Amino acid sequence: MRVLGIETSCDETGVAIYDTEAGLLAEALYSQIDIHAVYGGVVPELASRDHVRKTLPLIHDVLSRAGLEIHDIEGIAYTSGPGLIGALMVGALVGRSLAETLGIPALGVHHMEGHLLAPMLSDEPPTMPFVALLVSGGHTQLIEVQGIGDYTLLGESVDDAAGEAFDKVAKMLYLPYPGGPHVAKKAESGNPDRFDFPRPMVNKPGLNFSFSGLKTYTLTTLQSLGGIHEISEQDVCDIARAFEDAVVDTLIIKCRRALEQTGLKTLVMAGGVSANQRLRASLGPALAPLGASVYYPAPAYCTDNGAMIAYAGAQRLLAGEQDGPLMDLRPRWPLAELRAVSS
């Protein structure tokens, strides 16, 4: 089954074609970073307008790359939530209109399920069951995955998620948007021994996360040095390193705890923060004493993309799911509400 995937949940327009027998055939991605960077964050109206401009040209692009015509597509998957409602509407209207015209099924896909399943696009995908660490934008979650759609939430962020904290610390340090990669870049030159930032909630039972206090601690440290206009470049690097180390250690501690609690031996990490190189380098060795294996998506599939939506949609379309007559877009959508796919 050849499935066209459309991702328009936030500030990236992603389109891909996934064949359930041949794999990923083609993909294209347009990032709006340059549009939003001047504002220091995503402007929803600008995001929606740019999706309108880019979605159809990208569909033509991936069809050309795959050597296909639009009539060769057998199903369409689009992101129906969570995300910005205006941005979601663009992908949904394009996807559903095409499906209606072609007489093929369409299906709205959960954005976070797309991230969770992105490692399945690799040459050596993980096998279920596993524990998933989802660290994407406003989400930091630990989930027990028994099968597609069979998800149990183990823990989540109770305030700022890891990605949000990275972006907010970047603003404190006057670093460009999006902040996470820039904080990580500064941290490469930071002295790991200068500051010792707290590891939030690691001494409390459970698997929830809280990064708001760590963000405040970072601001207090910055102010103790005289503020952003008084500190040196090395000060910025040292603060970035202390912050990044605290986030990485906290995620590792919680992942270890989740594996011990579930008895599972496989961890899958996905979402934008999963591209962080210090986290990738540290997680495997830290979990090795448990006999655990760690899987990640390819770097291109850590951030939002059409391939993950095409793959996730294909699995559910194959199982017979498809849209009803009414469009159901959900800016907020708990992952645990999804139905399990029969194997």
Is 111 known as a binding-site position? yes
Is 320 known as a binding-site position? no
Is 138 known as a binding-site position? yes
Residue 93: CB atoms within 10 A of its CB come to: 16
Residue 302: CB atoms within 10 A of its CB come to: 24
User: CA-CA distances (angstroms) from residue 56 to 3, 76, 90, 145?
Assistant: 16, 14, 10, 34
Place of tokens 């998800």: 151
Are 190 and 240 contacting, i.e. CB atoms less than 8 angstroms apart?
yes
In the numeric block, which tokens belong to residue 287? Answer: 């979990």
* Partners of residue 305 on adjacent β-strands: none
What is the spatial distance between Cα 156 and Cα 232, in angstroms, rounded to a whole number?
A: 35
Candidates 190, 175, 184, 343; CA nearest to 275 is 184
**Whether residue 129 has a cis bond before it, omega within 30° of 0:** yes
b (16+ CB within 10 A) / e for 308-343 = bbbbbbbbbbeeebbbeeeeebbeebebeebeebee
What is the spatial distance between Cα 77 and Cα 48, in angstroms, rounded to a whole number?
A: 18
| Alpha carbon 197 to chain centroid, angstroms | 25
3-state secondary structure 280-319: HHHHHHHHHHHCCEEECCCHHHCCCCHHHHHHHHHHHHHC
Is 182 known as a binding-site position? no
Is 136 known as a binding-site position? yes
Is 245 known as a binding-site position? no
CA gyration radius, the chain: 20
Is 135 known as a binding-site position? yes
Binding site: residue ranges? 111, 115, 134-138, 167, 180, 276, 304
Binding site for Fe cation: residue ranges? 111, 115, 304
Binding site for substrate: residue ranges? 134-138, 167, 180, 276
